[in-house]
Amino acid sequence: SLAIREKSLGPDHPDVAGSLNNLAGLYKDQGEYTQAEPLYKRSLAIREKSLGPDNPDVAASLNNLGGLYNTQGQYAQALAIARRASAIYRQRIMAGGTSDAAAQEASKNQGGFGRHLSLLARNADKEPEAQIADEAFQIVQLAQASGTASAIAKMAARFAKGDDELASLIKRKQDAADQVTKQEVQLVKAASKPPQERSAAIEQSLRDEVVAAGKEMGAVDAELGRRFPQYQELTRPEPLSVAQVRGLLKPGEALLAYAIDTDSFAWVVKTDGASFIKLPVQAKEVASQVATVRSQMELGGNGKLQKVSVDVLHDLYKGLIAPVQAQLNGVSHIMVVPAGPLQSLPFGMLVASAPPAIVNDSDYASVDWLVKHHAMSVLPSVSSIQAFRLFAKGGTANEPFAGFGDPSIGNQGGSVRGNGTGLAKIDIATAYRSLLALVTDKAGLIGSAAEIADVETIRNAVSLPETATELQAMAKTLKANEKTIWLRGDATETKVKQTDLSKYRTLAFATHGVMAGQLKGVGEPGLILTPPKQGTVEDDGYLSSGEIAKLKLNADWVILSACNTAASDGTPGAEGLSGMAKAFFYAGARSLLVSHWPVASVATVALTTNMLKEYEANPKQGKAQAQRKAMLELMNTKSHPEYAHPLFWAPFVVVGEGG
């Protein structure tokens, strides 16, 4: 194959680089390292020459060569190669800005970032530990660039100073980024033509245009940094250093970040330093353990609580927390940046010491749950702490509370929102039918298909009359006027969209939440509200994540008292936070209370109202601490010993600013 391509395309064609790479890979797998190395190097040289030094194909060749050195035990050389490949992707991820392009670029180099971290942990050249920890901390942030983090950056930008000059600079940067993407595609096409059709002049011109557009982005970034430093700091996905995070933390706080893969790692950052620790766990094992416990967080077929594998939760503690426990001693609030399967489990459920035998539900109260030791909140990314903490200094909404719930749906009450007694009885896929709707945007352009919910299917979801009591209790706790609660026929999409929600510090939606997975590829995750007689694009009884993102909020927190609002959005490789959570961040929420599984309504009323009471009584303690106290109170409810089961107290997590 290589000989044919060299003869027909010439020795410096990108397709020749591909054949060289494949042949080198074969030799590597055979252990023929001396034969593999020159082929990898030649492949790299061709790609550098034809595509430019910062092309992702060059990074791929670097990763392959670095993998060879790693296999041979040449760790210092492998680390040098990994650093160069990561630098290429760092530049590309940053160029992605607040678009989803950043997450897409990060996903392309997951293997490269993983090897980089493993080589740093090995530290063959014995570089200073603090320097290695800082480098690894920044690499894991690149690896975990996500759509949720992007949503937070966009939310940050909306609150930052904005004017025509800022908008002009942002447009310039976006145009330059688009130009890089376009010209890179054209360069690959030009360089991949047969020899007789290739033009050295055209290829060089395209390379020059890519370089020029990159310089333009750099120039705009520099100007943004000078003239609009807050905007630039919040929206540019530059990884934070350990020193920057330390400066954002308060005494008694720690940021705990994870990377879970074949090699797994944890970082603990506190005001007085940071640690980089390899963990004795692998992603496959952790995913299996998490799946086991998650399967026990729904009522059994007989309607009874399932027995929880507290031993598995203790094993998870031993693998994930015990290696860093010394660094967490004395920490009252842990901000967790989870990864992989850890995004699907509340950390407060981990069991910190050998669990007792569980005979009755009340025995769960004596389990040494991690929540008994620390208040915990979740950050979708390391950098999001910067956005949330900067906004805490901003303006505050004037009105205390607004809530929407008890929609006019169903004929019978349910005790669990969403699955089990609610939406699971409906084929949710039938709730949607794709209709060609003529939609006019701000530019006057018409057209594209819109999905409108089948209002009759929405109307048949189980009713939730107890959510009215929950919202009223929240309003009373926050000393709010009950006129800011919209129930039954008033709990509509139209009311949500027409109300000035930016006035309210706390928002609550007490209703069914629907995951994208339940829609079987049709529609978006969202919340069920009271449907109209006939559905329209503006109001079909279903507030989708796309519609949520268009709201204008200034909320300290949004309480999503519904099922599965922290669940994956149903896309391959999806993050643990759903499209709903992303949408609320983009709309302007600084903290969310979201759930990992269907919630029991009566217990939820007690949990959320006690949490708000705790927070109102002492706001300085933070939302995570208020939630922790409410969870402990719920699990020790004498009149309901079953509430000690984590199905009742553990589903909710504070996402965002928990301090």
What does R_g of the chain's alpha carbons equal in angstroms? Answer: 26
Look at residue 188 in the predicted model and tell me its pLDDT.
83
Contact in structure between 140 and 117 (CB atoms under 8 Å): yes
Look at residue 285 in the predicted model and tell me its pLDDT.
95
Look at residue 574 in the predicted model and tell me its pLDDT.
43
Rounded distance between C-alpha atoms, residue 242 and residue 246, angstroms: 6
pLDDT one-digit tens code per residue, 171-204: 787 788 788 888 888 988 888 888 888 898 998 9
Q: Which residue stretches of the chain have pLDDT < 70? A: 96-103, 146-164, 167, 229-237, 300-302, 390-395, 411-451, 515-524, 562-579, 582
pTM: 0.80
Rounded distance between C-alpha atoms, residue 140 and residue 110, angstroms: 10
Rounded distance between C-alpha atoms, residue 358 and residue 154, angstroms: 46
Rounded distance between C-alpha atoms, residue 614 and residue 619, angstroms: 8
Strand partners, 369: 351
CA 287 to chain centre: 17
Residue 569: strand, helix, or coil: coil
Look at residue 100 in the predicted model and tell me its pLDDT.
58
Residue 127: strand, helix, or coil: coil
Look at residue 587 in the predicted model and tell me its pLDDT.
82
3-state percent breakdown (helix, strand, coil) of the chain, nearest 5: 55, 15, 35
Look at residue 290 in the predicted model and tell me its pLDDT.
93
pLDDT one-digit tens code per residue, 243-280: 999 999 999 999 999 999 999 999 999 999 999 999 99
Look at residue 232 in the predicted model and tell me its pLDDT.
60
How does 617-640 read in b/e, with b if 16+ C-beta sit within 10 Å? eeeebbbbbbbbbbbbbbbebeeb
